[in-house]
Amino acid sequence: STTARKSLKIGLIPADGIGREVIPAAKSAIEALGSDIPKPEFIDLLAGWETFTKTGNALPHETVDVLRNECDCALFGSVSSPSKKVVGYSSPIVALRKELDLYANIRPVLSVASEAGQKAAVDLVVVRENTECLYVKQEEQIFTENGREARATRLITERASRRIGQMAFEIALSRPRKHLTIIHKSNVLSITDGLFRETVRKVPTLPGVDGKYDSVTIMEQLVDSAVYRLFREPEVFDVMVAPNLYGDILSDAAAALVGSLGLVPSINAGDNFVMGEPVHGSAPDIVGKGISNPLASIRSAALMLRHLGYIKGADRLDTAVDQVIREGTTLTPDLQGTSSTTEVLDAVLKKI
């Protein structure tokens, strides 16, 4: 339980590129929370492209062992990926999701209201299934007399759909509007998307739920029209739950609605572990210049704490970030500011 913890062990995996600039910033923000959370203990861990070039392994066993056996949660930065396929290299973040069974990718997308207390124009959460769909990567190519033919398997299971559905209902329940939209394309893919849609829909009737989700309103929407509405009237959405591929596309599209990638946080969550991760990549174009925006990572830390039940600490981080954005005087260049990573962090720390 969250209240019983004396300390909070947090694995830090900055990995590559600007991950090494923004994850330390998130660490400082967490440290500034004082007694709002159990005393944080940070454990530095290796992963990523540079780790691969040095050790031949992008995700050392030790990293996984420490996360699994010692940490309560983790923060992951970003990985550079080689421009060409390199033998033996595969993405450590994908491997980590698998090793720790982090089956949900949760991405809140929030535009900051111009004044405190005012409603944000975009305030939604994309809950993306993270283990199956086309990402099972079962592809094959066959040669026919008419040329090559390529196929991919798309896997949807009742088990994975049910657990992502449960996570989505929980998140919907925790939000003021309590509105869940199930994203699918079952007019075309009636068997796979049909199973996803039906399984998520049935979550409120599962044994033991006992009317818990009665206050959640449920809508269904085809993925194509959901993207259209996302751009036309994003305010209609609250929580969106989707199979892996649609979720991937929707969450990037939603992030585009609120400006910089440097603002958008995420968590990868399972039943026993949660890992915060800014949505942006390693940003090789700005690495080392001291101008990377730390706000997505600080928000990822907030999201991680919220998921663990440390609402007060999470709120303080989010409020501080909101205030800094709203004031607009201390921002990095991606938000049309002239400040450095450190200056933005200092502004956030002052607000905390």
Choice between 241 and 335, CB closer to Mg ion: 335
Q: Which stretch binds ligand ATP (CB under 6 A): 30-38, 145-153, 170-178, 284-292?
A: 284-292
Burial state string for 139-175 with b = 16 or more CB within 10 A and e = fewer than 16: eeeeeeeeeeeeeeebebeeebbbbbbbbbbbbbeeb
Q: Which stretch binds ligand ATP (CB under 6 A): 76-84, 112-120, 195-203, 206-214?
A: 76-84
Cα→Cα distances 222→1, 191, 227, 240, 243, Å: 38, 15, 9, 12, 12
By rule CB under 6 A, what string of x and - marks binding of each residue 285-304 to ligand ATP?
A: xx-----xx--x--------
Active site (annotated) includes residue 213: no
Catalytic residue, from 252, 315, 346, 351: name it: 252
Active site (annotated) includes residue 248: yes
Choice between 14 and 204, CB closer to ligand ATP: 14
Catalytic residue, from 9, 72, 103, 135: name it: 135
The residues in 20-49 that bind ligand ATP, with binding defined as CB under 6 A, are 22
- CB-count burial class (<10 Å; 0-12, 13-18, 19+) for 100: buried
Per-residue tokens: 335? 């938000």
Instruction: Yes or no: say if 324 and 334 are a contact pair by the CB < 8 Å rule.
Output: no
- CB-count burial class (<10 Å; 0-12, 13-18, 19+) for 83: exposed
Helix (H) or strand (E) holding 126, with range, is strand 123-129
Choice between 248 and 334, CB closer to ligand ATP: 334
Per-residue tokens: 168? 């989505």
Active site (annotated) includes residue 315: no
Rounded distance between C-alpha atoms, residue 203 and residue 6, angstroms: 34
By rule CB under 6 A, what string of x and - marks binding of each residue 311-350 to ligand ATP?
A: ---------------------x-x----------------
Choice between 18 and 167, CB closer to ligand ATP: 18
Q: Which residue's Cβ has the minimum distance to ligand ATP?
A: 281
Taking CB under 6 A as the rule, does residue 181 contact ligand ATP?
no
* DSSP structural state of residue 336: T
Catalytic (active-site) positions: 135, 185, 224, 248, 252
Q: Where do contacts with ligand ATP occur on this chain (CB under 6 A)?
A: 18, 22, 78, 80-81, 261-262, 280-286, 292-293, 296, 332, 334
